[in-house]
Amino acid sequence: KQEVTQIPAALSVPEGENLVLNCSFTDSAIYNLQWFRQDPGKGLTSLLLIQSSQREQTSGRLNASLDKSSGRSTLYIAASQPGDSATYLCAGMYSGGGADGLTFGKGTHLIIQP
Amino acid sequence: NAGVMQNPRHLVRRRGQEARLRCSPMKGHSHVYWYRQLPEEGLKFMVYLQKENIIDESGMPKERFSAEFPKEGPSILRIQQVVRGDSAAYFCASSPPLDPDTQYFGPGTRLTVL
């Protein structure tokens, strides 16, 4: 059974700090891994998608890495801002073509203090 | 290009009633996914549909839940004889035919069963 775990469940840091969110997955036969952002009462916004053949992806202040051998992914946020406050979800896809859907972690609730 | 649309955004039902949740995928998208997010839980995959076909329903409860994606119109997630445990946020995602690995999420429908 595929499982995705995110640590920590919650994180509060002062504005301006760099931070790392962690995600671990049990099955190394992962097809791709995505990081999403979820704001209260809103849907999910895709941040970064890493294919299994890739090691990392970058978008602005965000950098996501994927290490299949250790079953880990990290999301690095540089120079955090209050607008980054949200819940960050990690999700793995284990079959190409969309079958089985995404397997999500429970998320890390991030608060950036002004 | 409008995003994935879901309605209603909030739905209240009494135990034993039926709930119908609608999802209109992004224009040109032919794949639809439904996920459920229970309180304090991560999103769980329920079903994956293409037009007029259920591709994978491995995450659907065996009873009371059904989904369809007709040739015309939105995808419908139907819950019969709702119980309090069905209270959750239900998210729909869609993907284009040539990129089924990338899912775009709607804002969700929050179902409350009294």
Q: Which residues in chain A have their CB less than 8 angstroms from residue B110's CB?
A: 41
pLDDT mean across residues, chain A:
91
Predicted local confidence at residue B36, as pLDDT: 96
Average pLDDT along chain B, 114 residues, taken 10 residues at a time: 89 98 94 92 92 91 95 96 96 88 90 97
Predicted local confidence at residue A112, as pLDDT: 97
What distances in angstroms separate CA B97 from CA A8, B68, B88, B100, B104, one per listed residue? 36, 18, 29, 6, 13
- Tell me the count of A-B CB pairs closer than 8 A: 69
pLDDT band of A90, cuts 50, 70, 90:
very high
Predicted local confidence at residue A97, as pLDDT: 57
Predicted local confidence at residue A2, as pLDDT: 80
pLDDT band of A98, cuts 50, 70, 90:
low
Query: Higher confidence at residue A2 or residue A68?
Result: A68
Q: Which residues in chain B have their CB less than 8 angstroms from residue A90's CB?
A: none
* Contact between B19 and B90 (Cβ < 8 Å): no
Predicted local confidence at residue A94, as pLDDT: 83
Predicted local confidence at residue A101, as pLDDT: 83
Predicted local confidence at residue A30, as pLDDT: 86
What distances in angstroms separate CA A3 from CA A43, A103, B33, one per listed residue? 22, 7, 19
* Contact between B64 and B80 (Cβ < 8 Å): yes
Does residue A1 register a pLDDT over 80? no
Of B40, B56, B105, Cβ closest to residue A99: B56
Token reading at B76: 């419908």
- Inter-chain residue contact B45 with A102, CB threshold 8 Å: yes
Q: Which residues in chain A have their CB less than 8 angstroms from residue B35's CB?
A: 101-102, 104
Does residue A95 register a pLDDT over 90? no
| Among B87, B81, B77, CA closest to B20 | B77
Predicted local confidence at residue B16, as pLDDT: 97
Give the residue numbers in B contacting A (CB under 8 Å), as ranges: 4, 31, 33, 35, 40-46, 48, 55-56, 58-59, 91, 93, 95, 100-108, 110
A97 touches chain B (CB under 8 A): yes
Predicted local confidence at residue B97, as pLDDT: 83
A30 touches chain B (CB under 8 A): no
Q: How far is B91 from chain A (nearest CA, A)?
A: 7
pLDDT tens profile A22-69:
999 987 788 899 999 999 878 899 999 999 899 999 999 999 999 999
Task: Name the residue of chain A whose CA is nearest to B60's CA.
Answer: A100
